[in-house]
């Protein structure tokens, strides 16, 4: 199981990649769009450029002709034409005011007077003069200035008087002077502007180029689409404007042409697309830089978000699947991993067991040594258990001091030995430093998974096995079996109904006589509880007292039996019967109650019963390990006048030595202990010896479980004082016992 999904990362980077791809495709599209747009713009501006250039030139040429026309008007009726010297002077004056470099007049005989005083013959050819008269104006081609060899244009206006030709007024303008106008119309970024003739010869251009015929150039050019030099030529022949695109010397250009109103000239604008591409490229570059910066920023943002997500998911994972104390898996992780691990065992054909391990009395360790030591112990136990895992096995800490394991179980006995060993190892706790070892005991419950049941049922079964192991003293682990389950179910049923049973009076007092061996007369009695269950009938105390001892309810029940006993004693007194002492059983749990004796006194006193009539029966197992407390209690009871009996002597650990230190008034021999003497002479000797020694401590002896005459004979023979057993009487309901007591006494 991973704390987070790598695929999340992959997906996000996939997204970034897709975004980059989209941007790349978008850029290509954008590039095309921009190029197309710029080309469009270029076409529009170049068309506008040539048109404007044409119009500007038309205006300019028109204005210059106008200047000549007004000179013409003033000369038409003037006598100056007959006075060459004055005419020259006049022309000179005019020339100073106008834009021409030279102003002049050419007579019909071909004599031309110039404002600078020069006189030339046929400055304008006959044909030129003819054209001027024909069109009432004349603009020359590019010509060589006869005075300084510079390039010039000549403008002329014809002059008539009374229908008779007088000559032409002309103006000379240097071609250079038009460069300003051309420059003004020139497009930026390497654009060119020309005034050309329809045959392609360049009249003027800017920037200055090696003047040649553009159709000569056109033959080297490769025209776009269906355009051609031919079409351009035709257009110009027919005075049409147009736009053409071509590639020359490896670079593409657009050129636009627009007719002027003079000489069939054309304004021609040329724009190399390379400059446009550069513009597009720089625009594109800017856009791309922008796009990729955005992607970069988004990427960084994404990485940041993913990092946060990763950290969050790790934190969540830790929260959900890791036990913070030991760093091991927690129950959630275990449950998630369990099905796969179980399947793997099944596939390998290896049986497996769900195992619950619990640290015994862990709460006490926490109370006595503090949580720090408690935590240290848990960590150590976890480490030991986890370290012992074999391939395919699982481990987790499922609760405070509870650990869960999935273990291979090739063989029950083998697993039991393994878990025993493991528990021993895991429980060997030493605090840091090495000294001060505190051995912990562990209890394990195992469920050999033999059925496909839900996980919680497996857990239930392992827990039941654990509870069974806990019950059986000296056992570390137990396997789940059906008997355990039934036992525990019964216990649960008992627990769930005990309080109600007490309230409803289902617990009843029975009394068993303790009799004189010889006469059989009732000398005293023992109070014994019975549960008259409405459904299950009479339940013997052995089935419920151990349960009540576990859950503490026995304290209430003993108190109830004590009250009943005291009431019965009171009743006997009232009936005028001779009261016999009654022994009441008290669980070892009362020893922990500091008010035990006080409560006892109160109860007995409330019924007005003499203390000597109550005998407190304490089982010998209580004595073991609690001699001091026992001594205190016995002394306390004696102080109040109660007598104390040691119950079940010989059933367990009791030693005669203990008896020397504890002043019991009576010792009750356990029926199993006595039964062990049956047909065993050596055991009989031991019993007899024990009786003798106890008698020396001035204790009386009650023999329990006397069932036969022989037993009675033997026991009375070795010196036992009283007999309690079926041979004399079974335990009787209180009323029946009272009747027996009456009979007993009346017989006497
Ligand atoms: P115990 O105190 O040793 O009580 C004597 C038990 O031996 C009684 O079992 C009694 O019925 C049984 N018994 C007496 N004579 C014979 C006989 O000849 N043969 C056989 N086979 N059994 C005989 P019971 O009444 O079932 O009680 C069992 C145990 O339950 C008692 O053992 C006692 O430890 C506990 N117990 C009974 N009543 C109470 C009570 O009110 N409070 C507490 N704390 N424990 C009680
Ligand atoms: Ca008893
Ligand atoms: Ca007993």
Q: Ligand 1 in contact with 644 (CB < 6 A)?
A: no
Domain of residue 571, residue span: 491-738
Answer whether residue 659 is part of any domain. Answer: yes
- Which residues fall within 8 angstroms of residue 173, CB to CB, at 6 or more apart? 64, 99, 100, 101, 152, 153, 154, 155
Given this model, what pLDDT does residue 567 score?
97
Residue with more model confidence, 5 or 365: 365
Structure confidence by residue, pLDDT tens digits, 194-223:
888 888 888 888 776 665 777 776 677 888
Same domain, 376 and 500: no
Indicate which residue's Cα is closest to atom 46 of ligand 1: 585
The average pLDDT across 347-376 equals: 89
Which residue, among 330, 190, 209, 214, has the nearest Cα to 273 in the 3D structure? Answer: 190
With 80 as the cut, is the pLDDT of residue 491 above it? yes
Query: Which atom of ligand 1 is closest in space to residue 724's alpha carbon?
Result: 15
Q: Tell me, yes or no, whether 463 and 513 share the same domain.
A: no
Rounded to an integer, the average pLDDT of 281-296 is: 80
Q: What is the CA radius of gyration of the chain?
A: 65
Q: Which ligand is nearest to the Cα of residue 511, counting in written order?
A: 1
Looking at 304-313, 408-417, 539-548, 595-604, which range is the least confident one?
304-313
545 lines ligand 1 (CB under 6 A): yes
Distance of CA 147 to the CA centre of its chain: 96
pLDDT of 275 > 70? The answer is: no
Burial class (CB in 10 A: 0-12, 13-18, 19+), 535: exposed
Confidence at residue 557, expressed as pLDDT on a 0 to 100 scale: 97
- Our count of domains for the chain comes to 2
Torsion angles phi and psi, residue 170, rounded to 5: -130, 160
Query: Both 730 and 652 in a single domain?
Result: yes
Residues whose CB is less than 8 angstroms from the CB of residue 102 and which lie 6 or more positions away in sequence, other chains included: 95, 114, 115, 116, 147, 171, 172
Query: 4 pLDDT band (50/70/90 cuts)?
Result: very low
Query: Is the domain of 513 the same as that of 571?
Result: yes
Q: Which residue has the higher pLDDT, 302 or 694?
A: 694
569 and 682 in one domain?
Answer: yes
Both 469 and 611 in one domain: the answer is no
Give the ligand with the smallest distance to the CA of 582. 2
251 located within any domain: no
Among the ranges given (121-130, 282-291, 433-442, 709-718), the one the predictor scored with the smallest mean pLDDT: 433-442
Mean pLDDT on 60-85: 90
Q: How far is the CA of 579 from the centre of ligand 1 (A)?
A: 22
Residue whose CB lies within 8 A of the most ligand 1 atoms, among 585, 591, 646, for a mutation test = 585
Six-digit token pair at 407?
């273990």
pLDDT digits (tens, 9 = 90+) for 152-198: 999 999 999 888 999 999 999 998 888 777 876 656 666 788 888 88
**How many whole angstroms separate alpha carbon 448 and alpha carbon 354?**
7
Whether 432 and 521 map to the same domain: the answer is: no
The CATH number of the domain holding residue 427 is 3.30.70.270
> Last residue of some domain: 480, 506, 533?
480
**Res. 480: pLDDT tops 80:** yes
Q: Report the separation in Å between the CA atom of 540 and the middle of ligand 3, taken as the mean of its atom positions.
A: 14
Which of 480, 514, 541 terminates a domain? The answer is 480
Candidates 537, 623, 612; CA nearest to 586 is 623
Token reading at 19: 């975004």
Task: Decide which of 480, 501, 529 is a domain's last residue.
Answer: 480
Report if residue 688 sits inside a domain: yes
Per-residue confidence (pLDDT) for residue 637, from 0 to 100: 97
Q: What's 568's domain CATH number?
A: 3.20.20.450
pLDDT of residue 142 exceeding 50: yes
DSSP string spanning 508-570? EEEEEEEEETTT--EEEEEEEEEEEETTTEEE-HHHHHHHHHHHTHHHHHHHHHHHHHHHHHH
Q: Do residues 611 and 733 share a domain? A: yes
542 lies in the same domain as 451: no
pLDDT level of residue 28 (50, 70, 90 thresholds): confident
Nearest C-alpha neighbor of 521 from the set 455, 474, 578, 606: 578
Structure tokens at 662: 């504890």
Mean pLDDT of 710-714: 95
pLDDT of residue 654: 60
593 and 705 fall within a common domain: yes
Of 237, 92, 82, give the one whose Cα is nearest residue 167.
82
């Amino acid at each position: 199981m991973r704390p987070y999904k790598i695929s999340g990362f992959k997906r996000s980077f996939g997204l970034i990649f897709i975004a980059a791809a989209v941007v790349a495709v978008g850029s290509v599209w954008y590039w095309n769009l921009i190029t197309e747009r710029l080309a469009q713009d270029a076409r529009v501006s170049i068309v506008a450029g040539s048109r404007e250039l044409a119009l500007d030139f038309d205006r300019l040429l028109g204005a210059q002709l106008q200047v000549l026309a007004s000179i013409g008007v003033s000369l038409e009726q003037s006598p100056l034409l007959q006075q060459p010297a004055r005419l020259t002077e006049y022309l000179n004056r005019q020339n100073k005011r106008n834009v021409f470099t030279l102003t002049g007049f050419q007579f019909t005989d071909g004599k031309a007077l110039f404002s600078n005083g020069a006189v030339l013959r046929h400055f304008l050819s006959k044909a030129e003069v003819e054209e001027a008269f024909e069109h009432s104006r004349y603009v020359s081609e590019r010509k060589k200035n006869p005075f300084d060899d510079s390039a010039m244009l000549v403008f002329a206006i014809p002059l008539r008087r009374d229908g008779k030709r007088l000559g032409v007024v002309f103006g000379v303008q240097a071609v250079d002077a038009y460069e300003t106008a051309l420059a003004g119309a020139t497009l930026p970024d390497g654009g060119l502007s020309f005034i050309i003739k329809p045959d392609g010869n360049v009249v003027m251009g800017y920037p200055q180029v090696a003047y040649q015929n553009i159709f000569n150039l056109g033959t080297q050019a490769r025209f776009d689409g269906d355009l051609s030099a031919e079409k351009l030529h035709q257009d110009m022949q027919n005075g049409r404007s147009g736009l053409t695109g071509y590639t020359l010397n490896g670079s593409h250009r657009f050129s636009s042409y627009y007719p002027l109103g003079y000489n069939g000239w054309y304004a021609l604008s040329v724009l190399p697309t390379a400059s446009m591409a550069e513009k597009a490229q720089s625009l594109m570059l800017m856009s791309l830089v922008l796009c990729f910066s955005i992607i970069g920023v988004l990427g960084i943002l994404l990485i940041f978000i993913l990092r946060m997500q990763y950290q969050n998911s790790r934190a969540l994972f830790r929260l959900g699947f890791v036990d913070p104390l030991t760093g091991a898996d927690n129950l959630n992780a275990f449950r998630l991993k369990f099905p796969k691990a179980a399947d793997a065992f099944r596939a390998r054909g290896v049986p497996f067991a769900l195992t619950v391990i619990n640290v015994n009395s862990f709460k006490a360790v926490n109370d006595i040594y503090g949580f720090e030591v408690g935590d240290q112990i848990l960590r150590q136990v976890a480490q030991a258990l986890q370290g012992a895992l074999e391939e395919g096995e699982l481990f987790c800490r499922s609760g405070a001091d509870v650990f869960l394991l999935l273990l291979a179980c090739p063989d029950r006995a083998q697993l039991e030995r393994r878990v025993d060993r493991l528990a021993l190892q895991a429980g060997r706790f030493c605090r840091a430093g090495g000294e001060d070892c505190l051995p912990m005991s562990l209890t394990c419950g195992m469920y050999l998974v033999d059925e496909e049941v839900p996980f919680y049922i497996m857990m239930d079964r392992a827990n039941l096995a654990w509870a069974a192991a806990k019950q059986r003293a000296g056992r570390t682990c137990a396997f789940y079996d059906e008997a355990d389950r039934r036992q525990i179910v019964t216990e649960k049923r008992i627990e769930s109904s005990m309080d109600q049973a007490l309230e409803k009076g289902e617990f009843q007092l029975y009394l068993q006589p303790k009799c004189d061996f010889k006469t059989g007369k009732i000398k005293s009695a023992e109070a014994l509880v019975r549960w008259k269950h409405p459904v299950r009938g009479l339940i013997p105390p052995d089935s419920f007292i151990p349960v009540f001892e576990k859950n503490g309810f026995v304290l209430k029940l003993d108190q109830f039996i004590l009250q009943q006993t005291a009431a019965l004693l009171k009743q006997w007194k009232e009936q005028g019967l001779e009261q016999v002492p009654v022994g009441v059983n008290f669980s070892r749990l009362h020893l922990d109650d500091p008010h035990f004796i006080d409560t006892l006194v109160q109860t007995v006193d409330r019924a007005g019963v003499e203390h000597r009539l109550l005998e407190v029966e304490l089982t010998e197992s209580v004595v073991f390990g609690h001699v001091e407390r026992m001594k205190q209690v016995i002394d306390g009871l004696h102080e109040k006048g109660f007598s104390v009996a040691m119950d079940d002597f010989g059933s367990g650990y009791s030693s005669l030595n203990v008896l020397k230190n504890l002043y019991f008034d009576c010792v009750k021999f356990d029926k199993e202990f006595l039964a062990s003497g049956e047909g065993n002479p050596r055991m009989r000797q031991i019993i007899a010896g024990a009786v003798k020694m106890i008698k020396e401590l001035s204790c009386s002896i009650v023999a329990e479980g006397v069932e036969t005459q022989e037993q009675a004979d033997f026991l009375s023979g070795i010196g036992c004082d009283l007999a309690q057993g079926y041979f004399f009487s079974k335990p009787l309901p209180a009323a029946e016992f009272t009747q027996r007591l009456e009979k007993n006494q009346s017989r006497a």
